[in-house]
Amino acid sequence: MTTFDKREQGFEAKFAHDEELMFKATARSNKLLGLWAAGQLELTGDAAASYATALVTASLENRSVDETLRKVSNDLAGKGILPEQVAQKMRECLHQALAQLEALPSDQR
């Protein structure tokens, strides 16, 4: 195997790792956002968990970030929460999710 092949293999492994990390971070972030939104909607217990899980599941079914933002914004519109506030919370949740994943031992990520 040439040096070029080894380098290419290393780049491919890093790309796969980064994609997997982003997938996990997005799912975790959407769960955090869903739990926050459920709280704003005054949902508790199983109802809050179901709302968060539904948001994660919908996101995994090819829902884009914009669609997730639109869904949560629409759900919270009646509570007077602006889409900009939801977008800010979404960014906070992504940062929190990344921090949580980075704090895990590498074999648990």
Segment 58-104, tens digit of pLDDT: 988 877 889 999 999 999 999 999 999 999 999 999 999 999 998 98
> Which structural domain, as residue segments, surrounds residue 103?
3-108
What's the sign of the alpha-carbon dihedral 64, 68, 73, 75? positive
The CATH number of whichever domain residue 104 belongs to comes to: 1.10.790.20
- Total domain count, the chain: 1
What is the pTM assigned to this prediction? 0.83
- Distance separating alpha carbons of residues 35 and 51, to the nearest angstrom: 7
Confidence check: pLDDT of 109 > 70: no
